[in-house]
Structure 1
Amino acid sequence: MSAELFDSAACALAVTAEDGTILQANSRFSEWLGFSTTELCGKRFQDLLTMGGRIFHQTHLAPMLRMRGSVTEVKLDMLHREGHKLTVLLNGIKREQDDGTLYDLALFGTTDRDKYERELLNARNFAEALLQEKTATELALKLAQAELSEAYAISQRRALFAEQMVAIVSHDLKNPLTAIRMASDFLNRGERTAKEHQLLGHIGQSSERAQRMIADLLDFTQARVGQGITIKAAPLDLHEVIHRAVDELRVAFPAANLVHLAEGSGEACLDADRVQQIIGNLVANSVAYGDLQRPITVTSRLGQGRCEVSVHNHGKVIPEALLTELFEPMTRGTDQGSDVRSVGLGLYIVRELARVHGGDVAVSSCATGGTMFTVNFQPT
């Protein structure tokens, strides 16, 4: 190698004798260690190493060069003239000459390589931390899902138990309520004072309202726990069934002005008792929430592929957000008090009865037009 190429090489180069004495060094070697090339020549290479580097040179590096004739990428710590440490990678080769053995050394700085290795290590540590976090998160999610499933199963069992208890209690309440009503009717037939007739009337109305609540509870539990609400459909005159239902409801709700309108003609195949129950629940709802100073209109429609009944009242507008949930159990259109309000199952029962007849129920409510519930049945 020419002197110019040796001196201008991109790495630090040195030639040493077999004992480590530096015979030749280039400018890069000189710059890295802070010595002039003149100062370097005559120094032993191992004397420029840290204490650990000298021990490694004596026990490993020098023996390997002698026996194998070369070393590659040996990491060493050298000392700068001012005392700070410089880490290098050393490649060395043994060269035999007539006048003795020489060692050609090439040293490469590790600053960029160390930085790259640190970045790789940091990236690996970060990736491992993310993996551990992901694993922990997945485990926590599985535990949360298991707890949620268990809580859901418990809530389902509790809900089923509660509904079954409601069904049992509701069924058992029917007999004493029937006895109360029969007793009040019997007592009302005899000679009574005006006050006694009034009290007996209150007893009769209260027992009738309680029976309606119990009927709704029994239908609710049948729909949710049992096999669903059952019907016994038979041919009937829809207008006549609604007319009878309205007449009975006028007695149950004397403060309300009930009007029946009939449109069209023809027969339908429905369960008469269940149709009357639908009208009863819708009228009770209108009495509870409507304006009793204005009529509650019950309309039955038949013909031209239609078979439906509707109940209309004038009252406060049902909020838009509540319309979609109105037919769910325990949902009410307002918080106002009412003596005729039931347990919040009436509209749910109406929907279930409409569906078991092959139809459905809809509601509309606005300030000018009032509120209308429309139940359509599958036409015969």
Structure 2
Amino acid sequence: MSDGLGPLPDSDSLWETAACGLLLTTTAGVIVRVNSTFCSWVGFDRDEVLGRRFQELLSMGGRIFHQTHWAPLLQMQGSVAEVKLDLVHKNGHSIPTMLNALRREHPEGLFHELAIFVAEDRNRYERELLAARRLAEERLLQQLEAQQALSLAQNRLRLAHADAEIRATFAEQMVGIVSHDLRNPLTAIKMAAGLLACNEEDEKRTRILGHVTQSADRAHRLIEDLLDFTQARVGRGIVVKPQVIDVHAVVANCVEELAMTFSGRTLSHQHVGSGQCVADGDRLYQAIGNLVANAMTYGDPDGTVAITSTSEAERVTITVHNRGTPIPARLLGNLFEPMIRGVKGGDDMRSVGLGLFIVREIARAHQG
């Protein structure tokens, strides 16, 4: 019955043009039949291959492996599969191959049937696979090392964070204790100086007592600054108690008191808008005092320090403006950081450089 495919190629044609090298050898390895595919691979004519022993076409390593392994294995079990051997081309270069062999009985006697495949593509695939495996192992090792380093860094960070918290708590407690202990003697000094000033008619002594009072006031302000700084640095921030206030009245009262503190200097106050807002008046008072003190210290001693309070729909702005030498450009980026100071001011206004930092924290506490 016909299958509709037409005439099929005969077995000789299939043998001759097969996609692999086909050989028939005696049990001693003498080649008695070979196809053109194999001949084209090794570069020999058919007549140059027939009658030769197959092992003569192998590399030295292939010959040794043939003699010690696959020939005895073929003798014992009658077949071998997927054996890697290197053929030697007529020009001398090696040809990697995969060999399959079968020991079979024919009417003419016992023969070895060999099917050989060029393994260059397979070798390249195996090399690429091995390289990919090595790369994956290296990357896995790198990832493990990175994870270990990250874990160590996280542990160090946790320890550093815990240590920082301990230090911050200790610093906060120490500053709180010291400032609390200093407040009482300073208050006593101020009270004593005030009483002595009331009962003393000598002008010189009155002036001296005034200096004592000013020094006590300055020390009190430094203590308050240190407390605020400690609160801000330990992450709690400056505490504010917002309530409905008239910002213009607060600024006016502050300017009036500062004018007495900085006698001989000129301060002015302008206001815009209704002035009603929700804020902590005491903290605004503190911020304005720090800004004005800074302006007095670094500004033109003959110039006017102008304070302006502006109240808009949802925004309150307080500005302090002085005249004098401009702030150096190198300081502008860090001007409100602690311990940052401009040119040296007078000894009577010396501070630890926390004034503008506290101004910034008060503004932040008001969402400003």
TM-score band (shorter)?
0.7 to 0.9
Q: Mapping of 1:32-181 within 5 angstroms?
A: 37-38=46-47, 40-46=49-55, 50-65=63-78, 70-78=79-87, 86-181=95-190
Paired residue for 2:304?
295
- Contact 1:297 1:311 (8 Å CA) reproduced: yes
Q: Mapping of 1:202-351 within 5 angstroms?
A: 202-221=211-230, 229=239, 231=241, 239=249, 242-261=251-270, 273-299=282-308, 310-318=319-327, 330=338, 332=340, 334-339=342-347, 340-350=349-359
| Structure 1 residues 134 and 301, CA gap change in structure 2 (3 angstroms) | closer
The amino acid across from 1:218 in the alignment is L
Structure 2: tracts of 5 or more residues without a match: 1-9
CA distance in 1, matches of 2:109, 2:187: 127
The amino acid across from 2:72 in the alignment is T
Q: Select between 314-323 and 201-210 the one with higher mean Cα deviation.
A: 314-323
User: For 1:291, what is the secondary structure of its paired residue?
Assistant: coil
The offset of 1:151, in angstroms, is 1.4
CA distance in 2, matches of 1:262, 1:97: 120
CA distance in 2, matches of 1:59, 1:96: 17
The offset of 1:124, in angstroms, is 1.7
Alignment deviations for residues 65-124 of structure 1 (CA, whole Å, 9 cap, x no partner): 3xxxx5433323456679876543223344543332333322222233222311221122
What is the TM-score of this pair, normalised by structure 1? 0.72
CA distance in 2, matches of 1:274, 1:8: 99
The amino acid across from 2:140 in the alignment is L
| Structure 1 residues 82 and 181, CA gap change in structure 2 (3 angstroms) | same
The offset of 1:14, in angstroms, is 2.0
RMSD: 4.1
Paired residue for 2:7?
none
- Contact 1:229 1:352 (8 Å CA) reproduced: no
- Contact 1:205 1:252 (8 Å CA) reproduced: no
Partner residue of 1:190 out of 184, 188, 200: 200
- Contact 2:20 2:115 (8 Å CA) reproduced: yes
| Structure 1 residues 360 and 119, CA gap change in structure 2 (3 angstroms) | closer
CA distance in 2, matches of 1:270, 1:205: 29
| Structure 1 residues 281 and 125, CA gap change in structure 2 (3 angstroms) | same
CA distance in 2, matches of 1:244, 1:254: 16
The amino acid across from 1:135 in the alignment is L
The amino acid across from 2:54 in the alignment is F
User: For 1:298, what is the secondary structure of its paired residue?
Assistant: strand
The amino acid across from 2:133 in the alignment is R
The offset of 1:60, in angstroms, is 0.3
Structure 1: tracts of 5 or more residues without a match: 362-380
User: For 1:171, what is the secondary structure of its paired residue?
Assistant: helix
The amino acid across from 2:135 in the alignment is F
Aligned residues: 352
CA distance in 2, matches of 1:222, 1:4: 97
The amino acid across from 1:180 in the alignment is I
- Contact 1:325 1:331 (8 Å CA) reproduced: no
CA distance in 2, matches of 1:84, 1:294: 97
Paired residue for 1:364?
none
Identity over aligned pairs, percent: 45
The amino acid across from 1:56 in the alignment is H
What is the TM-score of this pair, normalised by structure 2? 0.74
The amino acid across from 2:75 in the alignment is A
User: For 1:141, what is the secondary structure of its paired residue?
Assistant: helix
Alignment deviations for residues 330-377 of structure 1 (CA, whole Å, 9 cap, x no partner): 164634434324333334544555676xx565xxxxxxxxxxxxxxxx
| Structure 1 residues 85 and 56, CA gap change in structure 2 (3 angstroms) | farther
